[in-house]
């Protein structure tokens, strides 16, 4: 199912060169299942035409409070009452000032003022020159708008149309889409700090070779995204994978199991939830060569001695905070067979309240999965679905099991 299925978004455009991004944003919202009603200011129409936005949204574009298409001449009332959210992207510095002071001299600002605050949220994606963004007046306006209940989606940094470089660019359409999707997700972990490990580890044999596994990190990255969507502050400790960092997630890149353990030990004291999704190598070479091991033509193969890697999950789960119930630990078991038996045994061995099992060869590198949850009360299957969908289900199950959960 599309993440925005059934949602109706009013997309407001104000004057700024970032209006060109609004076209792609409109298209992205619709591809995720939303219906989009575009409302433009007169200044916005200087940067992109209503015809373009009408073609992309497949709905008439509104720009005047006197629009005769509304039988009661109350477009500001009708359009705002239909919306699940009003998203202003781009939102200029001038328009933010107008919103702050309750200005209502054209349709978009009038509609924002007339919206039912409790049921129609206002999302703002600022876009302006770096000096305008940094100006104390703009920052004061942003703080007050947030205090008044608006959601500020932030800005990007980089090259600007004026030729300068810095903060103030409107976020890219894919970033805004992720923020809008996250906005509508239940905030089951609001106020929580979540630590997630993801991906494989790489244990060096020499400077160019090593031992790893087929884990892609996709499940762990999906869990990090889902936890952020649920309102948590998320730190993601990632092994060597080629995946983009989920929006709003702090990422720490590591290579080996020793590196991952160190990062987890450093981050765990601040966490309320630890989800050990990473496929950590069980062993590593006892001594990595500092030079490439080369063939000598004798036909003899080098002898490698191995030592066991530290158990990251057990290490964190046995900490004082975890034992006191202040850190809820979730383990993962990627098995090739006998999933129930192995997952049940692993939960007992690790001493964690929740163990999540899956068949590794069936999911490594793929975008879908099926999970088996094992806790003290028994087992629960999460049927085959996308990893993001499963991650959201898992986050819900974790929230339900937390101490003092409602």
Catalytic residue at 112?
Answer: no
DSSP annotation string for 228-246: HHTT-EEEEEE-S---PPP
Please answer whether residues 90 and 129 qualify as being in contact, where contact means their C-beta atoms are separated by less than 8 angstroms: no
List the beta strands (DSSP E) in 146-261.
151-152, 156-159, 165-169, 193-198, 203-204, 210-211, 233-238, 250-253
Cα dihedral 102, 107, 108, 111 sign: positive
Q: ∠ at Cα 83 (78, 86), nearest 5°?
A: 110
Please answer whether residues 225 and 249 qualify as being in contact, where contact means their C-beta atoms are separated by less than 8 angstroms: yes
First to last CA, the chain: 28
Could you say which of 26, 91, 112, 162 is catalytic? Answer: 162
Helix/strand/coil for 399: helix
Kind of pairing, strands 156-159 and 165-169?
antiparallel
Helix/strand/coil for 72: coil
The b-or-e profile of 120-143 (16+ CB within 10 A means b, else e) is bbbbbbbbbbbeebeeeebeebbe
- Residue carrying structure tokens 């975890």: 322
Q: In what order do the strands lie in the sheet with 368-375?
A: 250-253, 233-238, 193-198, 273-276, 328-335, 354-359, 368-375, 378-386
Q: ∠ at Cα 281 (320, 209), nearest 5°?
A: 140
Q: Which residues belong to the active site? A: 162
């Amino acid at each position: 199912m599309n993440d925005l299925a059934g949602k109706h978004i009013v997309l407001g455009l104000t004057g700024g060169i970032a209006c060109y991004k609004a076209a792609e944003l409109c298209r992205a919202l619709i591809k995720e299942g939303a219906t989009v009603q575009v409302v433009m200011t007169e200044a916005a129409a200087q940067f992109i035409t209503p015809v373009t936005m009408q073609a992309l949204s497949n709905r008439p574009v509104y720009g005047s409070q006197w629009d005769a298409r509304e039988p009661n001449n109350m477009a500001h009332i009708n359009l705002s009452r239909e919306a699940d959210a009003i998203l202003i992207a781009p939102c200029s510095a001038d328009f933010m000032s107008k919103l702050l002071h309750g200005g209502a001299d054209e349709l978009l600002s009038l509609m924002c003022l007339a919206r039912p605050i409790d049921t129609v949220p206002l999302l703002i994606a600022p876009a302006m020159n770096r000096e305008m963004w940094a100006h104390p007046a703009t920052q004061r306006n942003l703080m007050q708008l947030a205090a008044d209940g608006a959601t500020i989606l932030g800005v990007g940094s980089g090259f600007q149309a004026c030729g300068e470089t810095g903060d103030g660019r409107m976020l890219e359409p894919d970033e805004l889409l992720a923020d809008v999707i996250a906005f509508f997700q239940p905030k089951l972990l609001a106020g929580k700090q979540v630590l997630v490990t993801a991906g494989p580890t790489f244990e060096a044999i020499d400077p160019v070779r090593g031992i790893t596994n087929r884990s892609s990190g996709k499940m762990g990255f999906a869990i990090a995204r889902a936890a952020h969507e649920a309102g948590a502050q998320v730190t993601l400790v990632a092994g060597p994978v080629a995946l983009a960092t989920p929006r709003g997630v702090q990422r720490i890149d590591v290579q080996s199991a020793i590196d991952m353990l160190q990062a987890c030990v450093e981050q765990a004291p601040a966490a309320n939830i630890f989800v050990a999704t990473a496929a950590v190598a069980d062993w590593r070479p006892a001594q990595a060569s500092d030079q490439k091991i080369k063939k000598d033509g004798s036909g003899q193969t080098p002898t490698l001695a191995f030592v066991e890697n530290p158990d990251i999950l057990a290490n964190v789960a046995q900490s004082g905070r975890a034992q006191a119930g202040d850190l809820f630990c979730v383990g993962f078991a990627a098995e090739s067979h006998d999933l129930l038996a192995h997952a049940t045994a692993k939960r007992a061995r690790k001493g964690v309240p929740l163990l999540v099992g899956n068949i590794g060869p069936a999911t490594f590198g793929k975008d879908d999965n099926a999970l088996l949850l094992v806790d003290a009360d028994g087992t629960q299957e999460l049927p085959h679905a996308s990893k993001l969908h499963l991650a959201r289900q898992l986050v819900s199950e974790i929230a339900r099991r937390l101490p003092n959960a409602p």
